[in-house]
A and B are shown apart, each in its own frame.
Chain A
Amino acid sequence: MKFVSCHGLHVCFVKSMSLCVLFPVPPLSPVVSQLTRYPIRQPHWNRHSYTTLINPNMVNAGDMNGSGNLMDFLDEPFPDVGTYEDFHTIDWLREKSRDTDRHRKITSKSKESIWEFIKSLLDAWSGWVVMLLIGLLAGTLAGVIDLAVDWMTDLKEGVCLSAFWYSHEQCCWTSNETTFDDRDKCPQWQKWSELLVGQSEGASAYILNYFLYIMWALCFAFLAVSLVRVFAPYACGSGIPEIKTILSGFIIRGYLGKWTLLIKTVTLVLVVSSGLSLGKEGPLVHVACCCGNFFSSLFSKYSKNEGKRREVLSAAAAAGVSVAFGAPIGGVLFSLEEVSYYFPLKTLWRSFFAALVAAFTLRSINPFGNSRLVLFYVEYHTPWYMAELFPFILLGVFGGLWGTLFIRCNIAWCRRRKTTRLGKYPVLEVIVITAITAIIAYPNPYTRRSTSELISELFNDCGALESSQLCDYVNDPNMTRPVDDIPDRPAGPGVYTAMWQLALALVFKIVITIFTFGMKIPSGLFIPSMAVGAMAGRMVGIGVEQLAYHHHDWIIFRNWCRPGADCVTPGLYAMVGAAACLGGVTRMTVSLVVIMFELTGGLEYIVPLMAAAVTSKWVADAFGKEGIYEAHIHLNGYPFLDVKDEFTHRTLATDVMRPRRGEAPLSVLTQDSMTVEDVETLIKETDYNGFPVVVSKDSERLIGFAQRRELILAIKNARQRQDGVVSNSIVYFTEDPPELPPNSPHPLKLRRILNLSPFTVTDHTPMETVVDIFRKLGLRQCLVTRSGRLLGIITKKDVLRHMAQMANQDPESIMFN
């Protein structure tokens, strides 16, 4: 690791793993102002060092004039101590202890005066204020996204002449010229062929519409990928794998920044409108987490503490799912099950609050004109029968199989994108996929419209008033039943057409989503999975319905399906299929069922949904343990220690620790026998993130652990500010400086940066326990001792590599610390 000294700009470039990280080191006078910014003392680190140095008798080496400087130097915190480098893991225990320190200080000061009491109240309430703000902003952004997507999707096909900002449905809202047969048409909204050429039917009109559809789709996709490339490259992808990793303690600077938020919102609209086979739920979670990051930076309680910030981000993720689906409880459960790592109970209540505020804000913006939250809100409550569990379980099996297929193919394609020349042409790739999608999607009416509308139509039951082809049943003209009690009818020709069109659409969607998810544009996965499941489910439902109608004298149907009764609801099968496919891909369990029943509004359908979700998870787990998000985490090599993985091998700590047999011995610092130059050489020659400190090289008894970054900063500060510190100065980590001969240079005390309570295990500790410790405490490294002597070190990366090796995966794929 090279450490280049500063230009006059006080900007230092530190190269670590060939990544350029920029951090400003402020000049000297603002260091004093940093005193008020970092008032936190680490409890298990030495905070009373200055009291011993006030007594000059304790300083027996160096000149006395230096003691004044020494006191100032020790009193103030080091600049940037407590912040972390990019692509590193945070120290959960330190963050937690800092927070309890801060809280203790505020509580003790609150008894002093009224003003302090008010400040303590404000501090306690700041969490709720942050949740409120996150809910408001997330709901607003989701409303804006929904309205803009609505409009831009219809822009591909035509434009509203009376007011260009209206989508098709809104344009014909006030029109009186809609008829029963043509209830979508009105003269105010015209297709492009009508506008440009004057014709609305015929081959030339069709070709012109087709061509313009493709052009608009390409235009939107090109704009989206250019914006992402130029302004915020972190805005691409779904966001959920990276947010999972961030919430487990990883730092990715800029991933939740303001530019990422802006670009993700803007390009999400463009990308969904372009007709690509992707959804907006995953990106909405990213958007909500960006909002969470933004608001938590306004309050020092959260901006200074990475652990507390992650609590806010967990709640923000819940708000994101809540506005995507209109499911506040489902959002909280999703955050708990899928996204979060440490989810204290306090966060549960706050997440629910944020999700509710977000849902309420979205509802008051009212993007769909009916006070609904999500486009596919269904309102029927027809019962289902026990014999229908068999097709539901079949749909579950289909969902599991599809999930496995999708994960394997998508990961293979993403790996190819990562390693071969395909990855060098992201813009071209987006354009080609958009062109293919638009060309194949336009002829089929089920893929031409937006996927949300397709799902909405598939979920809906056919009343007497539906005009779509899917509801083209043979009606008995003498029938006088009320609207919602139509019995099963034989399928008309429209239904048969719809069935094969749906089958083609299903195959197309299955194939194209594999190539779409993972491109360098914001892309979500929920809506395409639900579409695949809904199409499969609807086809199965229509099949069962017709079977029940034509063979109503079979034993299974005779009990529950009399002729003239309403037995089978194909819309329910579509819902169950959607739940099964979504569960097969993401491996969600409870959160999936809750989201689906919040979408439908009916508790009657919990059992079919659960049956399908459980079946699909079992079938998918039989082929591979990972959901799509864990698979992407492995593909990227993020240091994510999954709580769901079980480690059942019988290895010991000595098998995993470094140094192994035959490797160079452990690089350690000694308590008081190394010079500044030795330390600097050690730092320069190795790239470890920290060094254990032992008593001496002979007796390797452990004193503590020192982080690399803090060593560098401390030595640099000492060289600049302290008078007597030169390369030959002794560095000591004890309370009192060591015995030194006279005329030796001023020693440097670095006890302040030493962690005096590093975690240790003995060499015979089973790795099961070590993995558990790492997981539960969020450790970054753990020292291995035997008989009190330091033997080696185990880092999180070593643990992950060992787990990968045990699972026969490539251990070199773990890239980050």
Chain B
Amino acid sequence: MLFTLQNSEDVRCKCICPPYKDHSGQIYNKNVSQKDCDCLHVVEPMPVPGPDVEAYCLRCECKYEERSSVTIKVTIIIYLSILGLLLLYMVYLTLVEPVLKRRLFGHSQLIQSDEDIGDHQPFANAHDVLARSRSRANVLNKVEYAQQRWKLQVQEQRKSVFDRHVVLS
């Protein structure tokens, strides 16, 4: 089970005791096992004298809790890194790539994009790049070809959902 990796801080028995006579309410935490999780083991030092202990302990509520701090840490860090990567890729696709493509292809691209004025969305140039990358067969161009195909699919989805409101309205 996953519990073997826990450090000792990750288990506790928490006892909440309400105000009693003139003692104020208190919370006690202690690192004990589940069968020892009751008022007598956890509440130390006992604030009330001997005969009152039973009455005091009857009102206390003790719960055994455990967590895995390693899991939490790993999960949050993985999530933040995935989110960060996605944000970077999004910034690259929407801002950086059109600038780069415009510089690389220069005037011919500008003429074509003039005819395509209705399409200001990301991936608007996917058609052209697909048509251009025809016969080169090395890995990098295969990746680019797959990426362009993906962009076309996303563009189609975006048209269906956001523009024409055909699906998922």
Contacts and interface: CB of A to CB of B under 8 A. Distances in A.
A221 B118 CA distance: 27
Interface stretch (A36-44, A177-185, A197-205, A770-778): A177-185
9 contacts: A19-B160, A147-B76, A165-B77, A236-B161, A263-B86, A463-B61, A480-B55, A483-B61, A815-B166
Contacts of A151: 72, 76
Interface stretch (B40-48, B109-117, B147-155): B147-155
Contacts of B72: 147, 151, 165-166, 170
Contacts of A480: 55, 58
B50 interface: no
A365 B3 CA distance: 10
Contacts of B66: 366, 369-371
Interface string B43-63: 000000000000100111101
A11 B18 CA distance: 74
A759 interface: no
A270 B12 CA distance: 31
Contact of B149 (A22, A176, A482): A22
Contact of B68 (A183, A236, A259, A366): A366
B77 A174 contact: no
A233 B58 contact: no
B157 A174 contact: no
Interface string A413-437: 0100111000100100000000000
A173 B24 CA distance: 21
A366 B73 CA distance: 13
A242 B168 CA distance: 8
A636 B16 contact: no
B134 interface: yes
A165 B90 contact: no
A298 interface: no
Contacts of A165: 72-73, 76-77
Interface of B: 1-2, 9, 12, 16-19, 24-27, 29, 55, 58-61, 63, 65-69, 71-73, 75-79, 82-83, 86-87, 90, 93-94, 122, 130-131, 134-135, 149-150, 152-154, 156-158, 160-162, 165-169
Interface stretch (A222-230, A446-454, A530-538, A747-755): A222-230
A480 B66 CA distance: 31
A234 interface: yes
B34 to A, nearest CB: 11
| Chain A, interface residues (CB within 8 Å), range | 35 or more
Nearest to A167: B72
A230 B94 contact: yes
A236 B86 contact: no
A158 interface: no
A688 interface: no
Contacts of B168: 233-234, 236-237, 242, 636
Given A180-B24, A465-B16, 15 more contacts: A143-B75, A147-B71, A147-B75, A170-B72, A174-B29, A231-B86, A234-B161, A236-B168, A365-B68, A365-B71, A417-B169, A464-B59, A480-B55, A482-B58, A815-B166
Contacts of A259: 150, 154
Interface string A253-279: 110000100110010011000000000
Contacts of A371: 66
Contact of A520 (B152, B153, B162): B162
A418 B167 contact: no
A416 B125 CA distance: 32
B167 A11 contact: no
B86 A266 contact: yes
Contact of B27 (A178, A483, A520): A178
Contacts of A269: 79
Interface in A67-87: none
A364 interface: yes
A20 B29 CA distance: 63
B130 A9 contact: yes
A232 B157 contact: yes
A237 B156 CA distance: 18
A369 B165 contact: no
A506 interface: no
A512 interface: no
B65 A229 contact: no
B79 A144 contact: yes
A482 B59 contact: yes
A148 interface: yes
Nearest to B122: A230
Contacts of B82: 262, 266
Contacts of A464: 18, 59
Contacts of B68: 365-366
Which of B17, B71, B79, B152 has the largest count of A CB atoms less than 10 A from its CB?
A: B79
B75 A148 contact: yes
A8 interface: yes
Contacts of B149: 22
Given A178-B27, A231-B90, A426 B162 contact: yes
Nearest to A464: B18
A410 to B, nearest CB: 12
A635 B59 contact: no
Nearest to A8: B134
A229 B79 CA distance: 20
A616 B62 CA distance: 39
Nearest to B1: A364
B122 A180 contact: no
Given A19-B160, A520-B162, A163 B73 contact: yes
B169 to A, nearest CB: 4
Contact of B161 (A19, A226, A465, A520): A520
